[in-house]
Chain A
Amino acid sequence: GQETVSSGLKKPLVPASLNLSEYFKQFLFPQNECELHDFRLSFSQLKWDNWIVAPHRYSPRYCKGDCPRAVGHRYGSPVHTMVQNIIYEKQLDSSVPRPSCVPAKYSPLSVLTIEPDGSIAYKEYEDMIATRCTCR
């Protein structure tokens, strides 16, 4: 892996004018790493508020970012993820992508809807709000 790391370093990440502490902060706090992002939508935006009475706002959230190379306990990733990363980096098979940043845990959502026949339904749905991300 030495040669990969160094090739990473070769990229001109820092313009000359930035001071050193900024430069090192990059390594302490990796940029754009896999994490949970907030996203709120209101059903009126989708013009669904004529049949979804509650909740007024729904924040499904989503996962986005790069997966670190040595994925370990921090993401709860299985060993398979590391194997896939090695296949990707060694370019053993060009169709094998780098592991993806995906939701690992969800929480349910209660929805109050008006049915087509005018009856009203309260239902609890599983896995509607992402609460944690993982790499796999």
Chain B
Amino acid sequence: SLASRGEAQIAASAEWEPGAEPWSLLQPLDGRDRSGLLSPLFKVLCDGQGGVPRLQPDSRALRYMKRLYKAYATKEGIPKSNRSHLYNTVRLFTPHVQHDKQASVDQVTGTVRSVDLLFNLDRVTAVEHLLKSVLLYTFNTSVSFPSAANCVCHLVLKEPASSSSKTPPRAPHSVTFKSQFELKKKYKWVEVDVTALLQPLVASDKRSVHVSVTLTCVKDQRQHPSAQVSALNLARPSLLLYLNDTSAQARHRWYSLRYKGSPSQAPDQGGLPACPIGEEAAKGVRSSRHRHRR
């Protein structure tokens, strides 16, 4: 496989310099410290520290990922076998904001919010292949919004001017997504699938994604004609990447699926259902509790 050939490449071509740290032999050739658990473990063995200093993540993002973890793994940390997805890595990136136009509220056009975001995807390694990517919106449950709203998400992908003179600068992508959000008290997150937009970018090894996002939500006239539209308290969307890590250390779910006799499902890029994690997680929790009682 690609990963094992890469490792062989490292072993064959690594120069052993006196004084070099042993774990540096595992470094990918481009020198960026990328690979998951192994290099921090080696670092602990070499200098006994618990890893490099880290930036603290956004608390909402951390809460979302903890909820995802509970949905995907048991209390002992073992991946739940009833999950049929093929990705073994989920990364959540919070954006650096270029500029943030405040929400404008209009009784006819609804709430409009546009924001310019920059995502740094440096942590995505060469052996992590993108299967699905979504923009994750968190809603403040205290909004006074009707239970249903029609939202249009308009994205403009801005590619950095290419450094090489060979490729001519391209006009920014402009892709429009349309999706309807139902705002219920128990939904705190909504995912907007942007796989088609980001797939070529991540596959071409670009690690900096600059995107302008405009979200317009209009109340659903049929349900609450008299409801006042108020400003949606929209947090800036985070970016969720569902990846398949092909390295030897990563768990390969298709392997266990195959040996359980069920045909493995080849992911088609658009086919993975995007559904609110809250609902899915809640369902998972409910059924297991039921089983327990029986």
Which residues on A sit within 8 Å (CB–CB) of B94?
118-119
B79 in contact with A108 (CB, 8 Å): yes
Is A87's CB within 8 Å of the partner chain B?
no
Verify if A75 is at the interface (C-beta below 8 Å from B): no
The answer, among A46, A47, A112, A124, for a CB contact under 8 Å with B65, is: A112
CA distance A119 to B123 in the complex (A): 8
Among residues of B, the one whose C-beta sits closest to the C-beta of A108 is B251
* Stretch of B36-44, B160-168, B262-270 at the chain-chain interface: B36-44
| A109 touches which of B53, B61, B77, B245 (Cβ 8 Å) | B77
Q: Which residue of chain A has its CB nearest to the CB of B252?
A: A126
* A46-B44, A109-B78, A116-B54 as given contacts; A123 in contact with B37, CB under 8 Å: yes
Interface residues on A, range: 20 to 34
B91 touches A120 (CB 8 A): yes
Return chain B residues, CB-CB under 8 Å to A51. 40, 50-51, 54
When distances are taken between beta carbons in the complex, the residues of chain A under 8 Å from B229 are: none
Q: Is B68 an interface residue (CB 8 A)?
A: yes
Give CA–CA (A85, B86) in the complex, Å.
Answer: 43
* 0/1 string, A104-121, CB within 8 A of B gives 1: 000111111111111111
User: Across the interface, do B52 and A124 meet the contact criterion of CB distance under 8 Å?
Assistant: no
Give bound CA distance, A129 to B248, whole Å. 16
Q: Are the CB atoms of A124 and B250 closer together than 8 Å?
A: yes
B93: Cβ under 8 A from any A Cβ: yes
**Chief secondary structure at chain A's binding surface:** strand
Which residues from 163 to 177 on chain B have a C-beta closer than 8 Å to any C-beta of chain A?
none
Evaluate contact between A54 and B77: CB separation under 8 angstroms.
yes
Known: A108-B79, A109-B77, A124-B79. A114 touches B90 (CB 8 A): no
From the candidates A59, A110, A115, name the one contacting B72 in the complex (CB within 8 A). Answer: A110
The residues of B with any CB-CB pair to A shorter than 8 Å are 36-37, 40, 44, 50-58, 61-62, 65-66, 68-69, 72-73, 75-79, 88-94, 120, 122-123, 245, 248-253
Which A residues contact B (CB, under 8 angstroms)?
A: 46-48, 50-51, 53-55, 57-59, 107-126, 129
A-B CB contact pairs (8 Å), 21 listed: A50-B50, A54-B77, A55-B73, A114-B57, A114-B62, A117-B120, A118-B55, A119-B57, A119-B91, A119-B93, A120-B92, A121-B90, A122-B65, A122-B91, A123-B88, A124-B89, A124-B253, A125-B250, A125-B251, A126-B250, A129-B78
